Amino acid sequence: MIYIHVPFCRHKCSYCDFVSGTNIGLKDRYLSAVETEMDLRMCAGEVETLYFGGGTPSMLDVADIVKLRKMVEARFDVSGLVEWTVECNPEDMSEEFLCGLLAAGVTRLSVGVQSLDDEELRWMERRHNGEDALKAVLRAQNLGFDNISCDVIFGVPGNGLDKTLDGILALGVQHISAYSLMMEEGSKITKKKINGVCEEVSNQMYRKIVERLRNENFIHYEISNWALDGFVSRHNSGYWNGNAYLGFGPAAHSFDGSTERRWNIGNTLKYCSMVEKNELFWESETLSESDRFNEMVMLGLRKREGIDLIMMEELFGSERRDKFVRSMKKFERFVTLDNRRCALTEDGVFVSDMIMTEGFI
């Protein structure tokens, strides 16, 4: 699994504190630095999934996207690649750009729709309106993309959720991710102390999404993700399954699938100059046994299939497993338990934080 972080955006959205900036002038330096990073890390191996996220990867030219792909191909075996996702914002999805992505071999688009209500989009300071988003997805479908995910943000003040769900469902996309608005530390709304809706209303919105998508035959395979049969995100499932992954670019994280996690410096200019000078451009940590256990609980309970209790016993011993199972038994309505698995029920997903906390050590 390879993730490449593209740290450029046309404008900073009001709720965002991802590592991204409007300094597209750094693009060529960034592209070279990513290639140098790959060389410095002397990576090799097989890649099943490739994900270009951001930031806004669709701000790059198709030629740049192809360049990044070639960097990967020159160092890794991509003969078994099953999924290549590129995150796109609606305003970038011209026919020419989309045709370029198709020709390059991109198999999946993740589109930052967020809402189809123009008031809500203005509040979020997105650069598209609802009609732009609908047209962009339709254009991609007409050109031949048959694996499209739409991102939705709920919890923004307004009444646009029904309109957003209606519109996205009418398009017939294969995958939907819905995240609640968060007051992230560095975002404009946090700095200006502008709040979204209260927790109770946000929960009602989430419930509406869960019920609506269930009625439309979407599989709720992860707390914030829904897919039609056969369209779960292979790449993101890898994160939730605790697989190893490599991340390149500013702020990108990597994990060895066991105990070592590292993350690149989250400032594009510093990342470029440190990589250029071969200075230490990342930090790392070794996960303790309890970190790994808690991670297994948190990631596992987020998934519809839940936690593999046999694997839990193999990794952490029967005592830990038994203690965990005992801690889950009191949540009868919210958790399903058998000898092999522990998963949240349909009601359990609404109180997931409480249940996870109870399972942690």
Amino acid at 340: R
- Candidates 1, 2, 6, 20: give the one binding ligand SF4 (CB under 6 A): 20
Residue selected from 30, 37, 56, 247 as contacting ligand SF4 according to rule CB under 6 A:
56
C-beta closer to ligand SF4: residue 114 or 237: 114
In Å, what is the CA distance from 9 to each residue of 13, 159, 224? 9, 27, 24
Interface of this chain with ligand SF4, residues 191 to 250, rule: CB under 6 A = none
Q: In angstroms, what is the minimal distance from the CB of 18 to ligand SF4?
A: 4
Return the number of the residue (55 or 238) whose C-beta is nearest ligand SF4.
55
For tokens 């951001």, name the residue.
54
- Buried (b) or exposed (e) across 165-194, using 16+ Cβ within 10 A? bebbbebebbbbbbebbeeeeebebbeeee
- Cβ neighbour number for residue 22 with a 10 Å cutoff: 12
Closer CB to ligand SF4, 37 or 87, in the complex: 87
Q: How far is the CB of 159 from ligand SF4 (least distance, A)?
A: 22
Q: Is the dihedral of CA 44, 55, 178, 133 positive or negative?
A: negative
Q: Which is nearer to ligand SF4, 54 or 249 (CB)?
A: 54
With CB under 6 A as the contact rule, the residue among 30, 54, 213, 297 that binds ligand SF4 is: 54
Task: Pick the binder of ligand SF4 from 6, 55, 302, 335 (CB under 6 A).
Answer: 55
Phi and psi angles of residue 220, each rounded to the nearest 5 degrees, phi first: -85, 80
Residue 208 CB burial class (10 angstroms; 0-12, 13-18, ≥19): middle
Least spacing, CB of residue 251 vs ligand SF4, in Å: 11
Element (H, E) at 130: helix 130-143
Nearer to ligand SF4, 11 or 214 (CB): 11
Read off the DSSP letter of residue 259.
S
For ligand SF4 (CB under 6 A), the number of binding residues is: 11
Residue 89 or 237 having the CB closest to ligand SF4: 89
Binder among 6, 9, 81, 86 for ligand SF4 (CB under 6 A):
9
Q: Which residue has tokens 């646009």?
A: 160
Closest residue by Cα to residue 312 from 334, 349, 336, 339 = 339
Judge whether 12 and 60 are in contact, CB under 8 Å. Answer: no
CA distance 295 to 203: 24
- Cis-peptide, bond into residue 21, ω within 30° of zero: no
Contact 40, 271 (CB under 8 A): no
Q: Rounded to the nearest whole angstrom, what is the least distance from the CB of residue 53 to ligand SF4 in the complex?
A: 9
Q: Does 181 bind ligand SF4 (CB under 6 A)?
A: no
Residue 57 CB, shortest distance to ligand SF4, in Å, is 10
User: Are the CB atoms for 276 and 33 separated by under 8 Å?
Assistant: yes
Query: Pick from 93, 92, 110: which is nearest to 174 by CA?
Result: 110
Task: Identify the residue among 89, 107, 233, 254 touching ligand SF4 (CB under 6 A).
Answer: 89
Binding region for ligand SF4 (CB under 6 A) out of 10-18, 72-80, 90-98, 254-262: 10-18
Judged by the rule CB under 6 A, the positions of this chain that interact with ligand SF4 are: 9, 12-13, 16, 18, 20, 54-56, 89, 112
